[in-house]
Every structure is written in C-alpha cells, then in structure tokens.
Amino acid sequence: MFMSANRLPLLLASLLLGGCASTHHNPKDPFEPFNRGVYQFNETVDKAIIKPAAKGYNAVMPVPGKIMVSNFFSNLDDFIVTINDLLQLKIVNAVSDGGRIFVNSTIGLGGLVDVASMGGLEKRHEDFGQTLGYWGVGSGPYLVIPLFGPSSVRDGVGLYADTRSDVLRRVSHVDTRNQLYATRLLSKRADLLHKEKVLEEAMIDRYSFVRDGYLQRRKSLIYDGNPPREKFDDDENDSAPDKTSVNDHEEGMQPAATEAAAVVAPDAAVGTEPSAPQQTGVYRIWLSQRKGIR
C-alpha cells in the first residue's frame, strides 16, 4: 500500500514533468506547471499514507477525544496568533488572544476544553504571512509547497517563521515531539474528511478551484475580512456597483475546498455558500455544483 522510499523521488519527478504539459495560464500562478506537479505529488502521498491514517484515527478516537485533541493544538496555535497580533499592533486582539491562552491553559485543563470561546473570547487566525501582508508585502506568485499544500512566496516565508515559533519545537524529547506533530497532522486531516466531498463531487479543475479559493481567502484574512472589492466582468454593465463588503462571505467560502485538497492546511474554517453579489467565477461554478448535487 505504501510506496518505497527509493520510488518517491522518481514519482515526484514524473509528476513535475507531467505538470509541464498544462496549457493553463494565470498571472498569479506563473509557476503553474511546477505547482500542478507538486499538487499531484501531495495528492498521491495523501491518498497513500495520510488519508488512510486519518480514517483510522477517526475510527478509533471517540468524538469527545477528537474535540479535546483539536482544542489542545488550537490553544498552542494561539501563541503564534498572539505574537502576530502584536507585530500588527492589534493590541486589543493580542489581549483577547493572550486571554484565551491563559483561560484555556488553566481552567480549560491545558487547552483540552475551549472555555475561552464559551466565555466570548473568539478564536482568531493570524500568522506571519498575514503580518507581512499587513505591512504591505505583496503575496508574490502562488506556490504549492510539498506536503504543506497551497501557499504563496510571501506565505511560504511566513510559514517558515511560524514554524520557528511553534511551541512544539520547544519539546526537547524527540520522540514525544514527533508524536505530537503526527497527532496534530492526523487531527487536522481527519477534520477535513467530510469537507473534501465538495471537491470530489464538483466537476471542475480541482487544482484551479483550490488555488483561487486559497488566494481569495488569504486576501480576506490580510484585510481582516474586508478586502477592497475586485471588479469583475459583470460589473462593467452595472450602473450602480454593489458596495456590499466581502466580509460577510469570503471568510467561510473557501476553506472547505482549499483545505480538503491540501495535505496540511494552514487554517481551518467552516465553508458556507456565497450570496449572489459576491460570486467570482470559481464560486459561481462551485455554487452551481453544490445545488446540482443536493
């Protein structure tokens, strides 16, 4: 079932070469042939190793246990969130997210119970890629990272910085640290098993669907859910352009698709359907597919 180590480089090389045959072109994705190859590589590794392990995790772990494991790693993630709050000078958010750490680490039994959310301290998602974007650094070309999935040049740098600040790196016992990494991976991947049905049932180019969703959600996060509205073709004939903010829709639309295809997704959220005024091309297709399979 599992591929041998000596065949892995050969598989990656063949997938990269196969990706070069693509005729698609997107100005935000100049590395598309390479990215498609890495995307296929990630999909192959996921189907052969990670997804079966995640299914096994789901099968043996009771629901309360899965919730507590997810809460535990979410609490560790709040350390990175708080650091990036401070780097973005979002002092109020930093106090709130720091309060989440304190409450969940004490009353919440080391983060196993999300008491903070019950008390009104909402969960936020901040990372160093968002911090760079906050200070005006452009995202750069779209980039698919082996084993990590959708990213960009800027977010790839941010991912490296965040991993250096990861609390798990401070665990000195190597076996324990590796087991924690593996458990976090399985927890995240298991949470995506039901969300990836959107990708499996949609008759579209999965790679483009994931890419466009990722880029739009990252833009939404950079602008705290209120990015400047892009002008689409349909808007050219409108005498009174719709000024509805993207904030109400974009935060939840993308992750269900983006994370489902990535081996390790950077963020987690629940997907919802977009309302009509804010549908980009990919979301129109997605929404029509969703309606067609109900």
User: In terms of C-beta distances under 8 Å and separation of at least 24 residues, what long-range contacts does 193-198 make, across chains too?
Assistant: 193/51, 193/54, 193/55, 193/58, 195/255, 195/256, 195/257, 195/259, 195/260, 195/271, 196/260, 196/261, 197/260, 198/256, 198/257, 198/260, 198/271, 198/286, 198/289, 198/290
Predicted local confidence at residue 34, as pLDDT: 96
Task: Give pLDDT tens digits along the chain (294 positions).
Answer: 444 444 444 444 444 444 444 445 788 999 999 999 999 999 999 999 999 999 999 999 999 999 999 999 999 999 999 999 999 999 999 999 999 999 999 999 999 999 999 999 999 999 999 999 999 999 999 999 999 999 999 999 999 999 999 999 999 999 999 999 999 999 999 999 887 776 676 657 888 888 998 999 999 999 888 888 766 544 544 444 443 333 443 433 344 444 444 433 443 333 333 333 344 444 444 445 444 444
User: What's residue 205's pLDDT?
Assistant: 83
- pTM of the predicted structure, to 2 decimals: 0.70
Q: What is the pLDDT of residue 26?
A: 85
Instruction: For 276, list phi and psi in degrees, rounded to 5.
Output: -55, -45
Alpha-carbon span 258 to 253, nearest angstrom: 10
The pLDDT value given to residue 279: 42
CB atoms within 10 A of CB 206: 16
Q: How many CB atoms lie within 10 A of CB 198?
A: 19
Q: Where are the domains of the chain?
A: 25-191, 197-293
Contact (Cβ atoms closer than 8 angstroms) between residue 270 and residue 254: no
Distance CA 235, CA 82 (A): 39
- Other CB atoms within a 10 A radius of the CB of residue 71 amount to 21
| Phi-psi label, residue 271: left if phi above 0, alpha if psi -120 to 50, beta otherwise | beta
